[in-house]
């Protein structure tokens, strides 16, 4: 594990923040910019949060050496996208609630519970640290495709209300 307060980690996080900002995403893992370090960025806009009390908007947060443990056996499906798979979306089942431990870039330990969209972004980004893409987690490839096609299919096959399940922003 890198020293989370080392200058090269601060440089890495600055570079990741710039990439995430340019891409308009809500999460990024260091391997996505070619750096093999266990560092992730996550954020959750209010528009994407669920109603779970352990979910909610999250300002851009950097986590070093994040580890998660599922809490309970609840699972939830949702659409995900990824900077590493541009223009595509797929439906992925994730743990609904997880315990997360990590260290901040200031060296402060984190030990908290996240649910809903927070938990989804976290699981997506930690997977990147282990070389796992959301595609590897998919079971129903009829729920995978280009964003525009999925939105069109959704309009044909489902009530308009379900359009809310197609996110505006990508989970990176």
Name the closest residue to Ni ion (Cβ): 82
CB of 3 to Ni ion, least distance (A): 26
Minimum Å distance from CB 36 to Ni ion? 16
In SS3 terms, the chain reads as: CCCCCCHHHHHHHHHHHHHHHHHCCCEEEHHHHCCCCCEEEEEECHHHCCCCCCCCCEEEEEEEEEEEEECCCCEEEEEEEECCEEEEEEEEEEECEEEEEEECCCCCEEEEEEEHHHHHHHHHHHHHHCCCCHHHHCCCHHHEEEHHHHHHHHHHHCCHHHHHHCCCCCCC
Q: Which is nearer to Ni ion, 38 or 172 (CB)?
A: 172
* Cα 114 to Cα 112: distance, rounded to the nearest angstrom: 7
Active site residue 125: yes
Q: Which is nearer to Ni ion, 48 or 172 (CB)?
A: 172
Per CB under 5 A, 126 contacts Ni ion: no
Q: Which stretch binds Ni ion (CB under 5 A): 51-59, 61-69, 88-96, 164-172?
A: 164-172
Q: How far is the CB of 157 from Ni ion (least distance, A)?
A: 26
Q: Which is nearer to Ni ion, 39 or 159 (CB)?
A: 39
Judged by beta carbon, residue 6 or residue 127, the one nearer Ni ion is: 127
Q: Which of residues 58-97 bind Ni ion (CB under 5 A)?
A: 82
Give the binding-site size for Ni ion (rule: CB under 5 A): 2
* Cα distance between residue 169 and residue 26, in whole Å: 7
Q: Which of the residues 91, 125, 148, 168 is marked catalytic?
A: 125
Catalytic positions: 125
Site residues (CB under 5 A) for Ni ion? 82, 172
């Amino acid at each position: 594990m890198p020293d989370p307060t080392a200058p090269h980690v601060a440089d890495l996080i600055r570079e990741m923040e710039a990439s995430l900002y340019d891409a308009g995403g809500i999460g990024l893992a260091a391997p996505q910019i070619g750096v093999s370090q266990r560092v992730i960025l996550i954020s959750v806009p209010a528009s994407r949060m669920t109603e779970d009390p352990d979910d909610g908007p999250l300002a851009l947060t950097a986590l070093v050496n994040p580890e998660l443990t599922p809490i309970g056996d609840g699972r939830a499906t949702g659409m995900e996208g990824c900077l590493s798979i541009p223009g595509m979306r797929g439906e992925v089942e994730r743990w609904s609630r997880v315990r997360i431990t990590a260290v901040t870039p200031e060296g402060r330990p984190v030990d908290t519970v996240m649910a809903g969209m927070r938990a989804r972004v976290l699981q997506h980004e930690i997977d990147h640290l282990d070389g796992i893409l959301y595609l590897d987690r998919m079971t129903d490839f009829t729920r995978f495709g280009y964003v525009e096609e999925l939105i069109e299919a959704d309009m044909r096959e489902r009530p308009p209300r379900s359009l809310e399940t197609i996110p505006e922003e990508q989970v990176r």
